[in-house]
Amino acid sequence: MIDIKLIRENPELVKENIRKKFQNHKLELVDKVIELDKKSRETLLKGDTLRASRNSLSEQIGKLMKNNQKEEAEKVKLEVKKINDELVEIEQKEEEYKQEINNIMMKIPNIMHESVPIGKDDSENVEVERFGEPVVPPYEIPYHTDIMESFSGIDLDSAREVAGNGFYYLTGNIARLHSALLSYARDFMINKGFTYCIPPFMIRSDVVTGVMSFEEMDAMMYKIEGEDLYLIGTSEHSMIGRFKGKILDAEKLPYTLTSYSPCFRKEKGAHGIEERGVYRIHQFEKQEMIVICEPEDSYMWYDKMWSYTVELFRSLKIPVRTLECCSGDLADLKSKSVDVEAWSPRQKKYFEVGSCSNLTDAQSRRLGIKIKAKGEKQTHLAHTLNNTVIAPPRMLIAFLENNYNEDGSVNIPEVLRPYMGGLEKLQK
């Protein structure tokens, strides 16, 4: 959510930002907010004037009663009652305007960073840089579930009977590899100075609306029936929610956190759910990184965060590239975002394995996350960032394909061997 002052002072900038995101249907929201804001401020002024009059008249009543002028005091009391009756209506309007403005403001996208490329959808995202040489071996790389099945490591049929499409059982060394990757990612981030966290896996609706847009919420979140609780789609949701309504000590910033959680997603939309694969699923596990910092430091952290993911993937012998998200592919709360994509030697192309985003003060404004420097009276909004460290099983797909040998074995890179009991290879 952006600052309403920006809409008051520079509505055309806000409209141009909407046009660049190809959301012209939202242009009218800017004019509507301006109109409602004007009415709201007029109502607030009228209310303040009435309250001042009431306070003045209340003082008069005290003086009149003190001077035994009861008849005059009763007349003034009637005036106060009239003001109180009028204030009931005024205060109701104040609340209605406030709520209506807030609802509209939640739909107006965050201001994008000036460097974001302009494009309608993800087909117009821009490749930034490649890391590692993408190799296509002279032998065939099987489909990822076929590799897993060759190690008796996955059971999709039973999962489909138990929970439906989009779920899976991992077993044996494939399950162990899955856990090893998460443990390695955890320790990798701890060694970068991040604090390890395990957050709640459910959050309330006021946190949901604080961390994401309504469109994302509808497409992603599972609601717990009969309760004000949602299953998280990523640990970022509950990690950012932890700071809701708090005033942070500037001297303790930045908060650099890495969190583990299961993630639950409807995956509503055109993509659908694969029956054989585990690329797009309803349940998975993830290691995330979160940073809460001063506004002037957020883009420095943005570059650090995605570079950590690149470094981790390269340590596991997986070539990757970074892809700048264009304006039309940028979620409404994000100011700038980059996808990290891993090389698939089977498909001979890259595929998304993570995303790094700077949300500037959009989440902080919704959740009331503020910073106060020592000796200063005023507070200011924090900036929030998030990035995927790894998200198996997508990461598992990239790992298996890039470490697969012609004889059907899978190499275990040296950095991962301590988490696999010293194994150097997975053998059939």
Domains (range + CATH), the chain: 4-105 (1.10.287.40), 122-426 (3.30.930.10)
Q: Can you tell me the distance from the alpha carbon of 228 to that of 220, in angstroms, rounded to the nearest whole number? A: 16
Residue 273 above 70 pLDDT? Answer: no
Taking only the tens place, the pLDDT of each residue in 383-399 is 999 999 999 989 999 99
| Residue partners of 34: CB distance under 8 A and separation at least 6 | 7, 8, 11
Taking only the tens place, the pLDDT of each residue in 180-211 is 999 999 999 999 999 999 999 999 999 999 99
Global pTM value:
0.89
CB 360 within 8 Å of CB 110: yes
Q: Mean of the pLDDT values across residues 322-346?
A: 97
pLDDT higher at 427 or 73: 427
Residue 275 above 80 pLDDT? Answer: no
pLDDT higher at 219 or 236: 236
Residue 11 above 50 pLDDT? Answer: yes
State the Rg of the chain over Cα: 27
* Residue 370 pLDDT class (50, 70, 90 cuts): very high
* Residue 65 pLDDT class (50, 70, 90 cuts): confident
Q: Can you tell me the distance from the alpha carbon of 21 to that of 68, in angstroms, rounded to the nearest whole number? A: 69
Secondary structure letter of residue 160 according to DSSP: H
CB 3 within 8 Å of CB 365: yes
CB-count burial class (<10 Å; 0-12, 13-18, 19+) for 384:
buried
CB 23 within 8 Å of CB 109: yes
Q: Which of 251, 175, 216, 243 is nearest to 334 (CA)?
A: 216
List phi, psi (to 5°) of 191: -70, -15
Q: Mean of the pLDDT values across residues 300-324?
A: 97
pLDDT higher at 212 or 288: 288
Q: Can you tell me the distance from the alpha carbon of 293 to that of 212, in angstroms, rounded to the nearest whole number? A: 19
* Residue 270 pLDDT class (50, 70, 90 cuts): very low
Q: Mean of the pLDDT values across residues 143-162?
A: 95
Q: Mean of the pLDDT values across residues 377-387?
A: 96
